[in-house]
A and B are shown apart, each in its own frame.
Chain A
């Protein structure tokens, strides 16, 4: 190389001398004569023909270029011959041989280097490999900037990309993506996306373009994650939180600035996310919808805390409105309704305004039926006015019983939590202490004067009471359920009661009495005690209870929780039963409505239209629809078309029988 450079410099000097000597010839004759070369050009050709065309020279030059590129890639110092190489590159450029002598060989070395390097992919974890690719690709664009032309570096960068990623496209788009999502690395997500995008444009002969492959892997990866979370029965308590967290991360990744181009209306990844979540949710029935409703319930109970109104509403909107992209919308609604009812009745909701806003949002986004729940607020408002009127009338007649009664008058159809007393085994739900009974009767008499045609039934299991108890340690205000209150008041009569006696006196069914006693004598706040202490929290008929004189608590106002375990199980079962009935009825109604309008319809179309008709509430299985069609045929609402006659007709059309 040194020799080449020396000769080149010498040659250039000679040419200069020759040109100075023959300047007139050069300018006046050769330059104007098109078929003659200038002295310089002729001299360059001469040099090219004799020196550059020599295989020895070319090979030596390539070897030098190779060594240089290897050392540079290895991060070694090449200062010693950088200058010489620069001269060679100048020489080749001047001679017009840059492409053949520098550009092409350099890209070949680059390609060899990265093809070899790419073989380490299976041994590296995909994320590190991706990081390496990104680093190498950007390094190639800068490497040799002092010597190589820009186009060479740009091409080298593309060569590195193809060398490293072409063979490992799936490895990057699948394993790489999985690791990125697992580590919640937003930056790397975008880098992968860009890399795959560049890779797609490198070749036109992809069977599946890397961009499409990435999208497909993305959809599947998210689906598997959602499915995994949904089916993880051991960690149900964190299911909703986990899903929300994943969703939030993905939304951030896909935000308009990066991947999905909102302006070009390219929402592929956003759609893939929704699709993956929806499919993931459908892997398990009922439970996800139930858990989401319960999650919103706990948010509503907890309230906004330090968050601003806006922030809190945004969170509610995100949790309550986004997640129910579940197929079981009706399940969500059923559990949501029950939870809302309980919050309102027990005064546990943080804010009525938020409740109403969320309902409005839900009815707008999903199902107008959500707005039916606003009826509950009406009932409560009317009850409040009613109580005011009641108190006013009482103030004028001081002889009437205890005024501290509050009654909420609820319409049966609006409140899902009202269970029918007649369904209980016992003839009465609960026999109240007489002064309470008097107060209720007084209210009934008052209510008759307001609405003579209405009948009131008491739902005592929803009732609450505040009792004042005087323990030796001090006066306590106990906020308890009406069941608990009824039991506790017995102990002001006498100090010792057996389970059987309490049961006999109150008429409270054992499934209700047992948890009540457990909450008072075997729970956290032991206001009663079992007279013969023993292990175990079961309650026997001959267990005896007495007032706990040793009871102490730092607070004056106490809330004694009822034991809810069985209650919620029962509630869930009941809700599921209601949903099943509702679905059958909805399908029947939809099919009849469609057939009534159409008179006759083919099976497939009827199935499709039925799915559409109920899709706002739930996604039915074709099997369920077929069963309803069977039933409607048997009940003679529909018939299978027979009039076509003969054995050579497909019997797949139904008609409506008016």
Chain B
């Protein structure tokens, strides 16, 4: 087995096979990626990293195998691909996005993540999705219980609304962001129109998003 496939190269703790913060920095340097680049979230998802700067041996080995990487150059290529996929593939974006909620937890068993923390991760993820097609505006058509999303011609969520959301969450978001709010926010920004007019207060949105809408409506129009 190639050494770069194993965790030994980056594991600084002699008693453990796992990689921690220092190893992560070295590893990023080898890949030529900024540790704070959003693609690291995709890498973390692929290698099933339990939390920021932590990598288990099993996740590491299985992950790279799945990506068919056994050398730094192949890893570099894979990372570049992940970056494009993250920006353009909605399903993939959603998987990484949902994964990020647990990844962002600072303590095991936490039910919500701190607003500050959530905003930091949103600041990475949202622009990445907005750069490509991953978060493009969609129309929802209902077919019985099913819903079919098709790309919309109408303008939708604008990148500058991100800051509005951050401001709202910081000022009015309360203690933290629940998993439900985190996940539903993804659906929300894909389906909402740019004037926030087609929003249904009675639909299944979490009340935090209802409140945001009321709060933001005055500010965007």
Contact = CB atoms under 8 A, between A and B. Distances in A.
15 contacts: A604-B202, A622-B202, A623-B207, A626-B207, A630-B206, A630-B207, A630-B208, A633-B178, A634-B112, A634-B178, A640-B204, A649-B147, A650-B147, A651-B204, A652-B204
A607 B201 CA distance: 12
A633 B180 contact: yes
Interface in B133-183: 140, 142, 145-149, 178-181, 183
A623 B149 contact: no
Contact of A626 (B112, B140, B210): B210
Contacts of A198: none
Interface in A150-179: none
Contacts of A651: 183-184, 187, 204
B111 interface: yes
Query: Which 6 interchain pairs have the tightest Cβ spacing?
Result: A603-B204, A652-B204, A650-B147, A626-B207, A647-B90, A633-B180
B188 to A, nearest CB: 11
A657 to B, nearest CB: 13
A640 B91 CA distance: 18
B171 to A, nearest CB: 19
Interface in B101-157: 111-112, 140, 142, 145-149
Interface size class of A (residues with CB under 8 A): 10 to 19
A603 B146 CA distance: 14
B204 A648 contact: no
A604 B202 CA distance: 8
Interface in A597-643: 602-604, 607, 622-623, 626-627, 630, 633-634, 640
Contact of B203 (A603, A647, A649): A603
Interface in A86-102: none
B123 to A, nearest CB: 21
A646 interface: yes
B94 interface: yes
Which of A646, A650, A652 is the most central at the interface, judged by chain B CB atoms within 10 Å of its CB? A650
Nearest to A634: B178
A623 B179 CA distance: 19
Contacts of B206: 626, 630, 633
A647 B88 CA distance: 13
B180 A630 contact: yes
Contacts of B178: 630, 633-634
Nearest to B211: A623
Contacts of A602: 145, 204
A572 B193 CA distance: 44
Interface of B: 90-91, 94, 111-112, 140, 142, 145-149, 178-181, 183-184, 186-187, 190, 201-208, 210
Given A646-B91, A650-B140, A650-B147, A634 B207 contact: no
Interface of A: 602-604, 607, 622-623, 626-627, 630, 633-634, 640, 646-652
Among the interface residues B181, B183, B186, B206, which one has the most CB atoms of the partner chain A within 10 A?
B206
Nearest to A638: B180
A646 B94 CA distance: 8
A651 B185 CA distance: 11
Contacts of B186: 647
Given A633-B180, A640-B180, A647-B94, A607 B202 contact: yes
Contacts of A634: 111-112, 178-180
Given A647-B90, A648-B149, A627 B207 contact: yes
A652 B191 CA distance: 14
Contacts of A623: 201, 207, 210
Contacts of B205: 626
A622 B201 contact: yes
A623 B211 CA distance: 10
Nearest to B112: A634
Given A603-B204, A630-B181, A648-B147, 10 more contacts: A604-B203, A626-B207, A633-B178, A633-B179, A646-B91, A647-B186, A648-B148, A649-B146, A649-B147, A651-B183
Contacts of A630: 178, 180-181, 206-208
Contacts of B90: 647
A634 B186 CA distance: 18
A647 B111 contact: no
A603 B202 CA distance: 9
* A602, A627, A634 interface centre (most CB from chain B within 10 Å): A634
A634 to B, nearest CB: 5
Nearest to A646: B91
Contacts of A647: 90-91, 94, 149, 186, 190
A629 to B, nearest CB: 8
B220 to A, nearest CB: 21
A583 to B, nearest CB: 15
Nearest to A649: B147
Contacts of A627: 207
A54 to B, nearest CB: 73
Nearest to A636: B111
Contacts of B145: 602
B63 to A, nearest CB: 21
A307 B80 CA distance: 91
Contacts of B207: 623, 626-627, 630
Contacts of A648: 147-149
A648 B205 CA distance: 16
A646 B142 CA distance: 16
A647 B183 CA distance: 11
Nearest to B190: A647
A436 B180 CA distance: 61
A652 B206 CA distance: 10
A418 to B, nearest CB: 34
Contact of B183 (A603, A622, A640, A652): A640
Nearest to B148: A648
B66 to A, nearest CB: 19
B134 to A, nearest CB: 9
B161 to A, nearest CB: 20
A320 B75 CA distance: 78
Nearest to A604: B202
A623 B201 CA distance: 8
A652 B91 contact: no
B87 to A, nearest CB: 15
Contacts of A622: 201-202
B37 to A, nearest CB: 23
A646 B187 CA distance: 11
Contacts of A626: 205-207, 210
Contacts of B179: 633-634
A165 to B, nearest CB: 43
A243 to B, nearest CB: 31
A150 to B, nearest CB: 61
A513 B186 CA distance: 59
A613 B28 CA distance: 57
Contacts of B183: 640, 651
A652 B205 CA distance: 8
A651 B140 CA distance: 12
B89 to A, nearest CB: 10
A634 B187 CA distance: 19
A640 B205 CA distance: 11
A627 B91 CA distance: 29
A648 B90 CA distance: 10
Contacts of A603: 203-204
Nearest to B89: A647
Contacts of B142: 650
Contacts of B111: 634
Nearest to B184: A651
